[in-house]
Structure 1
């Protein structure tokens, strides 16, 4: 009876170890997927967009920053700032915003509160 109990305990422990290995494998796979996503160069993605699509990105960035903008009416590429591609985006024909895009896709916005 004792031997049977020991064998069953050993079988249960072996099964538990196998179950622990599977989440570890899934965690490694998930980390690899996240690292692959981190490798996306959003700067190149934004630069490669057609003008209207790029201005849509600028519109979303300005609005996400809590600034008022109904439409980006024009944009122009400026000299890179801190190694990040930078544009001047004009909202509604008269509100300029300087937008830099970091490699991870963050939009850094510099706006003048007295632009109007």
Structure 2
């Protein structure tokens, strides 16, 4: 089982959304977002990922798989994804790479992800 830091990927995916604010907002909004991300629970992180647009959620799961080690490096794209049942109370997703291998990504309280795979594809 490999661990991957996922908070940075979520925050990076959310930055374009933060840039859509009005021009009267303080210029340091992104620094504030990144600083407050350090206290996010696994459930809060799971909610943020769940609430992302599909393309950004796909990107976050892809980044977690690619960061998981040499076997994840072969993943070229997440072609399917589905939220799975919590693992030990932590939010989790199943993601399919290149229509050929399935990975399980479990978010943890230390704002990282446990990534397991590759395995046979079982989600449709």
TM score, norm. by length of structure 1: 0.61
More helix, by proportion: 1
Match of 1:55 in 2: 58
CA RMSD across the alignment: 2.3
Q: Find the aligned partners of 2:37 and 2:114 in 1 and give their Cα distance.
A: 21
* C-alpha displacement of 1:115: 4.2
TM score, norm. by length of structure 2: 0.58
Match of 2:85 in 1: 79
Structure 1 unaligned regions, length at least 5: 1-33
Higher normalized contact order (CA 8 Å, seq sep 6+, divided by chain length): 2
**Number of paired residues?**
82
Match of 2:25 in 1: none
Structure 2 unaligned regions, length at least 5: 1-34
Match of 1:43 in 2: 46
Query: 5 Å matches for 1:1-116?
Result: 36-40=36-40, 41-66=44-69, 67=72, 68-112=74-118, 115=120
